[in-house]
Amino acid sequence: QVQLVESGGGLVQAGGSLRLSCTASGRTFSMYPMGWFRQAPGKEREFVAAITTSAGSTYYADSVKGRFTISRDNAKNTVYLQMNSLKPEDTAVYYCARRSLAYTGRYSTPSGYDKWGQGTQVTVSS
């Protein structure tokens, strides 16, 4: 069974930066597009960013465009989310997810992902 393990969350002041990492077990990581989602208390899980298998294409939510960067290192089975210029409204639990190969819809749709990590808390203070 593939497992996704996130790390790198924490408490940061507004305007600061964090880099999240998500490492996958197994040998098939490079075959799958990957995504990051987040969920704040009392809110639905929302799309943050996604990246294709060879990192040829990336996708971002409008709310993070220009501030966050998704990348991947297939040799390390790891996907990253570099978060700059953080705002209090970025506070949430951040999840990485593996996109299903059978899904052809939008990268922003949570139901298109078949494996999820346990999440890492990001808290941005004002």
Q: What is the pLDDT of residues 78-118, one digit of tens each?
A: 999 999 999 999 999 999 999 999 999 999 999 999 999 99
Write the DSSP symbol of residue 110: G
How far apart, in whole angstroms, are the C-alpha atoms of residue 20 and residue 9? 6
Those residues with Cβ within 8 angstroms of residue 71's Cβ, 6 or more apart along the chain or in another chain: 51, 55, 79, 80, 82
DSSP H helices, the chain, are none
The pLDDT score that the predictor gives to residue 54 is 85
> Torsion angle of alpha carbons 78, 47, 67, 21, nearest 10°?
-20
Q: Is 48 left (phi over 0), alpha (psi -120 to 50) or beta?
A: alpha
pLDDT at 112: 97
pLDDT of 5 above 90: yes
